[in-house]
Amino acid sequence: MKMGETLLIAVSPGIQVGGALFTPKHLQTIGAVVGEEARIEMTTFKQLYVEIPVERRESIQAELELVGLEVYPAGFVSKSLIACNFCKGAEEAGVEIARTLNQAIAGIETPTPLKIGYAGCALGTSEPLFKDIGVVKMRNTFDIYVGGEPRGIKVAAAQLFMSGLSEEQLVPVILRIIDYYKTEAKGKEKFSKFIGRVTLETLQQIAA
């Protein structure tokens, strides 16, 4: 490590009713700990990318977490869960389930950045069908979709992967999907192309 080196960290306010809500205290703290010259980018996956000095990473992360922010690695990892606003309420829409899923998947090294969406009902306000992996809560069970493509001239909705999963099944299945992608992807193969190559049926067998 050389003095003066910087790195990007991803900062999120955490999963809560109402969506990705940064408080004034959050923003004040970010500004205070990273300094006036830092570069801060708002991403499309509800995280702030913050450039910080490498040698201050641990102290900066501690200060951010002290005010309730969550800190993750940036770059080629599975992003923190892109969740809906939980308009149906915390219990009905599954806020705690979403938090558990987020803790399990956020920050896993992947061949390309992996976006995972969660919607607490079929309204799908977080657009889970346009994420690499999408989870939709359907009353007391969960449906998983894979292979959404939100950008470019070949925009495509994700395909239904599994339906009717219990809360206990949800996290293990998604972790198996991510693990198979990590081990079987060719170089920096995008997840949607990976699905097309290995086939949905093969991935279903691996994840079952």
* Position with higher pLDDT, 2 vs 155: 155
| CATH class held by domain 82-207 | alpha beta
Sequence-ordered list of residues with C-beta below 8 angstroms from that of 192, at least 6 positions apart, any chain: 132, 147, 148, 149, 156
**pLDDT the model gives residue 2:** 56
Per-residue pLDDT band for 34 (boundaries 50, 70, 90) equals confident
Q: Which residues contact 17 (CB under 8 A, 6 or more apart)?
A: 85, 86, 89, 90, 95
| pLDDT, tens digit (0-9, with 9 covering 90-100), for 57-95 | 999 999 999 999 999 999 999 999 999 999 999 999 999
Question: For the whole prediction, is pTM greater than 0.85?
Answer: yes
DSSP per-residue letters across 156-187: BPPEEEEEEE-HHHHHHHHHHHHHHHHHH--S
The count of residues in the chain is: 208
Q: What is the pLDDT of residue 125?
A: 87
- Residue 78 has what pLDDT? 97
The correct answer on CATH 2.10.69.10 for the domain covering 6-73 is no
What pLDDT score was predicted for residue 127?
93
Q: Angle at Cα 51 formed by Cα 26 and Cα 84, nearest 5°?
A: 50
Model confidence at 154, pLDDT cuts 50, 70, 90, reads confident
Q: Could you give the CA distance from residue 71 to residue 65 in angstroms, rounded to a whole number?
A: 7
Q: Hey, where are the domains in the chain?
A: 6-73, 82-207
Report how far residue 19's alpha carbon sits from residue 10's, in angstroms, rounded to the nearest whole number. Answer: 17
Average pLDDT, the chain: 93
pLDDT surpasses 90 at 151: no
At residue 152, the pLDDT reads: 75
Answer yes or no: is pLDDT of 3 > 60.
Answer: no
Mean pLDDT of the region 118-127: 93
State residue 201's pLDDT score: 95
Under the banding of pLDDT at 50, 70 and 90, the label for residue 9 is very high
Amino acid at 192: S
